[in-house]
Amino acid sequence: MPAPDLPFRPAGWVNRLVASPRFQAICARVPGLRGIARREGAAIFDLMQGFVQSQMLMALVELRVLHLLADGPATADALARKLDVPPERMAILLQAGAAMHLLRRKGDSFTLARRGAAFLAVPGLADMVRHHDVLYRDLSDPVAFIKGRTDPELARFWPYVFGATGPMDPEVTARYSHLMAESQRMVADAALARVSFSGVRQLLDIGGGTGAFLRAVRARHPQLQLALFDLPDVVAQAALPADITRHGGSFRTDPLPQGADAISLVRVLYDHSDATVRALLARVHATLPVGGRLLIIEPMSGGTRPDPQTDVYFTVYTLAMQTGRTRSAAELSRLLTQAGFREIKLFHADKPYLTSVLEARRG
């Protein structure tokens, strides 16, 4: 049985004031403070109920409720019959979906809300939600997870992060390649809105999976020569135009292809340890010509200003992978400087919870 919470006296006079029951009672009565108290209380409750929201989102996705309601309104009873769910339980799920603003209720009927329509419009988002069942299991004992006393299942979902270079199970390769490709389309759109390829002749995408980023680059910059480098089993599944060069290999052990004056690393570094990242950056530096560009495109920690998305979701996700770490732009900049890069610039994408972009040049 857990020990009961003990009385506490937080450090700092502001915290002591806020923690005072008497002060909270005053806030509840004073008009100017009442709204602040309500918002803080609601925010605290949202932290507590976050797991339930994510699970109800999973149920909506798995049952394809959002997809069904995209065709028009329906009642809980009608959806219950169609999906083989008890009517009273379907009503609770739909009510939760409406409370999360994914659905809209009008009388006894429910229809898709704007947020629900936006959810369906994002490529790969439903697949990512389904994939979270792995992460949910890994976090079933969060204290043991944080103490490093669990064996996360997520680490086995992405076998390449442990340095696998030989032939892999085709089903495993197809599974993670599909998920990577679907989510990478969102990342590519966000990054390319900020990146300029002025003066670039050839771009090499290292660890680019099945080529989703390069396809997005080709659509915007048809004049660029493009090349993909990834594990042979992954590159073999890449659906790319014939004039985009494919190179199969491991950036850990195989020579990097030569000839590019720009290299992109899209969601690669945060999958790996500092030692692996240092080694890769050194190899990239040696491959690029003087003045050649390196683009690091991935979610980044807020560092000294913790970010509500990247410092919760991505830092925990990469921790569960057991090999990587979500780094701040400042940390990545230090690693780049150590590798010999200069003129390091940070570009904030419109959706930093998807990605940020660091550009650096070979010194």
pTM: 0.84
CATH class of 42-121: mainly alpha
- Cα separation, 194 vs 205, in Å, equals 17
Q: Is the pLDDT reported for residue 174 higher than 90?
A: no
- Token pair of 17, please? 């004031």
Are 359 and 344 within 8 A, CB to CB? yes
Are 266 and 188 within 8 A, CB to CB? yes
pLDDT at 26: 74
Higher pLDDT, 336 or 13: 336
pLDDT at 221: 95
- Token pair of 43, please? 């925010």
Q: What is the per-residue pLDDT across 248-296, written as a single tens digit (0 to 9) for each?
A: 999 999 999 999 999 999 999 999 999 999 999 999 999 999 999 999 9
Q: What is the per-residue pLDDT across 222-237, written as a single tens digit (0 to 9) for each?
A: 999 999 999 998 898 8
pLDDT at 258: 96
Q: What is the rounded average pLDDT for all residues in the chain? A: 88
If one looks up domain 125-362 in CATH, what number appears? 3.40.50.150
- How many Cα atoms occupy the beta-carbon half-sphere of 190 within 13 Å? 23
Element (DSSP H or E) covering residue 272: none
Q: What is the per-residue pLDDT across 175-225, written as a single tens digit (0 to 9) for each?
A: 555 666 667 778 888 899 989 999 999 999 999 988 999 999 999 999 999
Angle between helical axes of 87-99 and 76-83 (0-180°, round to 10): 120
Higher pLDDT, 305 or 184: 305
Q: What percent of the chain has pLDDT over 90?
A: 67
Q: Is the pLDDT reported for residue 356 higher than 60?
A: yes
Q: Is the pLDDT reported for residue 158 higher than 90?
A: no
- Token pair of 168, please? 């892999």
Cα–Cα nearest to 346, from 329, 325, 328: 329
Element (DSSP H or E) covering residue 14: helix 13-18
Domain ranges of the chain: 42-121, 125-362
Query: Angle CA(221)–CA(224)–CA(228) in degrees, nearest 5?
Result: 105
Q: Is the pLDDT reported for residue 24 higher than 80?
A: no
The residue type of 226 is L
The three-class DSSP label of residue 30 is coil
Pair type for strands 341-348 and 245-248: unpaired
pLDDT at 180: 65
